[in-house]
């Protein structure tokens, strides 16, 4: 690299998203003719529901190929507002809703809005890995709080009290969470909101897995705290990962700043995707999406006890999302090695705990039940042979 300047130092503190690396290796093995069972990737295996695809096609046919408003087309902001009314009995002014390029775009906007260089936000370890990278990018830091099954893998007022430091400006939680599927109930959300408000902090709740919960209520934090920031997405329940569309809800005072940032960072989201997403709220589409949620529930109901019987250490059954975070200490003390051997020797793609933080990461792997039941049964069969 003689004569070329080095790339920016910030890259040294950004970690790779290993699940993507697992997927790349799995695809390589498939090209070599191997039969790989995908329990790694964090996206629904179902293709986007037909009415949404149709709406996207119709939008293109109408020639809707231009930039839109930076905060999203008004119809979609209205539709999301109506959704809050029907799902949560909440009246949210559409002006407080911004459409974003996925929850990822919302995380980037909120990191830029809330964090000064040198400041940080509390977040769980294990947790969604990209959060702390977004904070790094704006000169901040993710302040990781080790959590286990004892705290339902979530932050608590006690943990907030013991970890809040001079440069902490808020807390970021997800419910249901990735990689644990742990859900915060209304009381837990209210307690968190009180603990953060007491410190004049920002509370950000990532509600991306709402709609994918099994027999439990997943309240929005907005039911207990109108000042909270909410992140959501069309990726998971709405099954639109590849369309790159999400949203956030913010207090009115934050919207001018967020719009300014969105104008500069994105100009607008995919126009076709926004028109397609409108169809996601139609009752006929919702029926398809709810049926898919029930399929995820059935997979969890099979995989959770099956993993337990194989000897994986499991906390309480995950109540949402499509993940099981499993302790592998009966088999190995090196989850990276365990995942590598599962993939290379047995054709099962899993995600090592190191993707989600540091706390007991080498003792855990994440299973994503985002493949058909037959394939999940096949994976359990393969594991039974090698682990027993
Ligand atoms: C907790 C959580 N937040 C945010 C995202 C980003 O999702 P997207 O940008 O596709 O909306 C993911 C993706 O897996 C996630 O698990």
Question: Phi/psi of residue 348, each to 5°?
Answer: -120, 120
pTM (whole model) above 0.85: yes
Q: What's the pLDDT at 2?
A: 63
Evaluated on CA atoms 344, 350, 356, 361, the torsion sign reads negative
Q: What spacing in Å lies between the alpha carbon of 159 and ligand 1's midpoint? A: 24
Distance CA 330, CA 112 (A): 42
Q: What spacing in Å lies between the alpha carbon of 233 and ligand 1's midpoint? A: 8
Q: What's the pLDDT at 1?
A: 56
Q: What spacing in Å lies between the alpha carbon of 234 and ligand 1's midpoint? A: 10
Q: What's the pLDDT at 71?
A: 97
**Nearest by Cα to 145 from 183, 173, 114:** 173
End-to-end CA distance of the chain: 50
Residue-range domains of the chain with CATH: 10-47+285-387 (3.90.1150.10), 50-282 (3.40.640.10)
The verdict on the CB of residue 233 being under 6 Å from ligand 1 is yes
Question: What is the best residue among 23, 104, 370 to mutate for testing ligand 1's pocket, by most ligand atoms within 8 Å of CB?
Answer: 104
Q: Which pLDDT tens digits describe the chain residue by residue (388 residues)?
A: 567 899 998 888 888 777 888 889 999 999 999 999 999 989 999 999 999 999 999 999 999 999 999 999 999 999 999 999 999 999 999 999 999 999 999 999 999 999 999 999 999 999 999 999 999 999 999 999 999 999 999 999 999 999 999 999 999 999 999 999 999 999 999 999 999 999 999 999 999 999 999 999 999 999 999 999 999 999 999 999 999 999 999 999 999 999 999 999 999 999 999 999 999 999 999 999 999 999 999 999 999 999 999 999 999 999 999 999 999 999 999 999 999 999 999 999 999 999 999 999 999 999 999 999 999 999 999 999 999 8
- Radius of gyration for the alpha carbons in the chain, expressed in angstroms and rounded: 21
- For residue 103, give the ligand 1 atom closest to its CA: 11
Q: What's the pLDDT at 229?
A: 98
Q: What's the pLDDT at 22?
A: 84
For residue 140, whether the previous peptide bond is cis, meaning omega lies within 30 degrees of 0, is: no
The verdict on the CB of residue 208 being under 6 Å from ligand 1 is yes
Distance CA 43, CA 179 (A): 12
Q: What spacing in Å lies between the alpha carbon of 62 and ligand 1's midpoint? A: 30
Q: What spacing in Å lies between the alpha carbon of 386 and ligand 1's midpoint? A: 33
Residues 282/275, Cβ–Cβ less than 8 Å: no
The verdict on the CB of residue 207 being under 6 Å from ligand 1 is no
Tokens read off for 368? 């994503």
Q: What spacing in Å lies between the alpha carbon of 129 and ligand 1's midpoint? A: 10
Question: What is the best residue among 230, 235, 270 to mutate for testing ligand 1's pocket, by most ligand atoms within 8 Å of CB?
Answer: 235
Beta bridge partners of 348: 37
Distance CA 111, CA 97 (A): 17
The verdict on the CB of residue 99 being under 6 Å from ligand 1 is no
The verdict on the CB of residue 271 being under 6 Å from ligand 1 is no
The verdict on the CB of residue 128 being under 6 Å from ligand 1 is yes
Residues 300/274, Cβ–Cβ less than 8 Å: no
Tokens read off for 375? 């394939």
Max CA pair span of the chain: 62
Q: What spacing in Å lies between the alpha carbon of 266 and ligand 1's midpoint? A: 18
Take atom 4 of ligand 1 and give the residue whose Cα is closest: 103
Question: What is the best residue among 43, 125, 128 to mutate for testing ligand 1's pocket, by most ligand atoms within 8 Å of CB?
Answer: 128
Distance CA 160, CA 187 (A): 16
Q: What's the pLDDT at 10?
A: 87
């Amino acid at each position: 690299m003689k004569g070329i300047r080095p790339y920016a130092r910030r890259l040294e503190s950004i970690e790779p998203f290993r699940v993507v690396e697992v997927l790349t290796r799995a695809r390589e093995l498939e090209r070599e003719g191997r039969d790989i069972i995908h329990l790694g990737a964090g996206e629904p295996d179902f293709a986007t529901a037909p009415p949404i695809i149709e709406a996207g096609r119709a939008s293109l046919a109408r020639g809707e190929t231009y930039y839109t408003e930076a905060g999203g087309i008004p119809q979609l902001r209205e539709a999301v507002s109506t959704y809050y009314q029907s799902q949560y009995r909440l009246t949210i002014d559409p002006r407080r809703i911004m459409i974003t390029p996925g929850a990822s775009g919302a995380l980037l906007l909120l990191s830029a809005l809330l964090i000064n260089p040198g400041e940080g936000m509390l977040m769980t370890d294990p947790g969604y890995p990209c959060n702390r990278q977004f904070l790094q990018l704006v000169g901040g830091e993710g302040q990781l709080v080790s959590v286990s099954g004892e705290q339902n893998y979530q932050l608590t007022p006690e943990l907030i009290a013991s970890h809040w430091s001079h440069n902490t400006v808020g807390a970021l939680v997800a419910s249901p969470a990735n990689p644990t599927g742990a859900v915060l109930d209304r009381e837990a959300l209210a307690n968190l909101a009180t603990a953060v408000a007491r410190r004049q902090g920002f509370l950000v709740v990532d509600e991306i897995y709402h709609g994918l919960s099994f027999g439990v209520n997943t309240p929005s934090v907005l039911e207990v705290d109108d000042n909270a920031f909410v992140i959501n997405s069309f990726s998971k329940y709405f099954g639109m990962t590849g369309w790159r569309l999400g949203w956030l809800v913010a207090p009115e005072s934050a919207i001018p700043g967020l719009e300014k940032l969105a104008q500069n960072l994105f100009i607008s989201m995919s126009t076709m995707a926004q028109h397609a997403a409108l169809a996601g709220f139609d009752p006929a589409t919702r029926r398809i999406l709810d049926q898919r949620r029930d399929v995820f529930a059935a997979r969890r109901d099979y995989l959770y006890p099956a993993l337990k019987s194989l000897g994986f250490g499991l906390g309480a059954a995950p109540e949402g999302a499509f993940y099981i975070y499993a302790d592998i200490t009966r088999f190995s003390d090196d989850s990276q090695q365990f995942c590598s051997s599962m993939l290379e020797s047995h054709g099962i793609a899993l995600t090592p705990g190191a993707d989600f933080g540091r706390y007991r990461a080498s003792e855990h792997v994440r299973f994503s039940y985002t493949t058909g039941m037959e394939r999940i049964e096949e994976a359990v069969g393969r594991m039974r042979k090698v682990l027993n």
